[in-house]
Amino acid sequence: MNYINKYQAFILHLCLLFLFDCANSCADVVAHQFKYATYPQNPANIAKDKQVDDKLHLFAGMGDQDDWGYGIAGAFLTVSNQIIIDVTTQGAFKTVDNNSFAGFMVDFKTPSGYLKRVAYDLKGLSDKRTDFIPSWGKGVQPDHVVQTDAETGRSLTIDLSREAPIGWNGQIWLSAMVENSGKGSSLEIRLSDITFQPATDTPADIAPFSSEGIKWKQIPIHKMNIIASNMTSPQRMALDHLSMAIPATLAASSTPQATLIIARFDHLSELTDSQRSEIHSLLSDPTGWKEQQGYVIRHYPDRKQIIATSLGDKGLVNAIAHLQRSLILLPEVAIALEKDVTVEKPETEERGIYINIGYGLSSGPITPDNWNEQEWESFIDQLVLARVTFWSFFSVDRNRAYLS
């Protein structure tokens, strides 16, 4: 019989640890869906992807027309703890305003939704970012910024586990992005060993892409009785927009199969004492502003009820926005929930956006001053759905300027 000594056993142990670590951190990436966004007032902005064999290219560019605008190419991925990215940059990058950026965004998904957005900054153009784009994923300004040194042709190993929030399920939105970074500047990121698994017809933020096969709860909303109690004006507007998102042909039903109750906790007179106690237990530890902005959405399958509640008025608007983000429009209108109880307390108190609005400038339109009413309503809807708490803008014409 052959025996190994302690030294050989130690070396074997190290080899096994290396193989185990590589298997867990260098696993293939699964790509499910892609989204793109460019600035409406700069048609030269570029956002696209390219799929070659097992490689994924995400490209974002400013184009050759103006220093202003943005290009964003995003991929919804299932990943391991680490990803390896090859980076190529072209052109002269420069700082145009506080939102100038070149790099990539990572939105971490959990069973409770997107809880964290991290900006990986490749050029260090600005440290005062307030913009909330891209609108997918968490849809707010970054919770954290990581300065990343990336020379053209260099591979970056990104340890996602260092930034991931508690409960991260291994899914992210990875978005290559340039914004207000100078005419002619562009960025391309590449990932290898990609498996492409197309998404279903439902939106990426809702659909069950996980290989673990999460069983989503789909509650038909066109067969739902909606009870809203003591609505303030902002809450009523949010509820009206939720209703408008439901096609009229499916909204009516003589026999409701579920009841949606939306009300602040102290206005839930429709509930029994036991139901009020259950909801109160979920919000028993409010903290400052989180008490006003947090909310609870609970599904009672046996009672055929969904209850959306909060302790503050702002939280109820956020809860209604959550329900609208959770809408599935195909094959029927439904609310998709991952679990029976969702407790959401935003991580930051203020989440805002800054925008320039220019009128009659000789340099041409640099901002959406020519949007029609429908386009402005759509933009403001996105601010509400992204749970933005403030909107500041700089309005300028030939003779005067206004800051709000």
Amino acid at 189: I
pLDDT at position 339, please?
Answer: 72
Torsion sign (Cα): 131, 133, 136, 137: negative
pLDDT at position 223, please?
Answer: 52
- Does 217-344 match 26-196 at the fold level? no
Considering the domain 217-344, what is its CATH architecture? Answer: 2-Layer Sandwich (3.30)
Per-residue pLDDT 10s for the chain (404 aa) are: 444 554 444 444 444 444 444 444 445 789 888 888 888 788 899 999 988 888 899 999 999 998 989 999 999 999 988 899 999 999 999 999 888 999 999 999 887 678 889 999 988 888 888 787 888 888 778 888 998 876 666 788 899 999 998 888 899 999 999 999 999 999 999 998 888 876 543 333 333 322 233 344 556 555 556 666 667 777 777 777 777 666 544 444 445 566 777 877 766 655 555 556 655 655 555 555 666 777 888 887 777 778 888 877 888 888 888 887 777 655 556 677 767 777 777 766 666 666 666 555 444 444 556 667 767 776 776 666 666 666 666 665 544 444 44
The beta-carbon contacts of 92-96 under 8 Å, at least 24 apart in sequence, are: 92/182, 92/184, 92/185, 93/123, 93/125, 93/181, 93/182, 93/185, 94/67, 94/125, 94/181, 94/182, 94/185, 95/125, 95/126, 96/67, 96/68, 96/180, 96/181, 96/182
pTM above 0.75, yes or no: no
pLDDT at position 286, please?
Answer: 52
pLDDT at position 324, please?
Answer: 79
Tell me the sheet residues that pair with 299.
306
pLDDT at position 364, please?
Answer: 44
Query: Mapping DSSP to helix (H, G, I), strand (E, B) and coil, where does residue 150 land?
Result: coil
pLDDT at position 344, please?
Answer: 76
CA proximity to 366, closest of 98, 71, 93, 68:
68
pLDDT at position 302, please?
Answer: 76
pLDDT at position 3, please?
Answer: 47
Q: Are 202 and 92 in contact (CB under 8 A)?
A: no
Domain-wise residue ranges, the chain: 26-196, 217-344, 352-403
351 by Cβ neighbours in 10 Å (0-12 / 13-18 / 19+) ranks as: buried
Which class does domain 26-196 fall in? Answer: mainly beta
What is the distance between the alpha carbons of residues 181 and 179, in angstroms, rounded to a whole number?
5
pLDDT at position 217, please?
Answer: 54
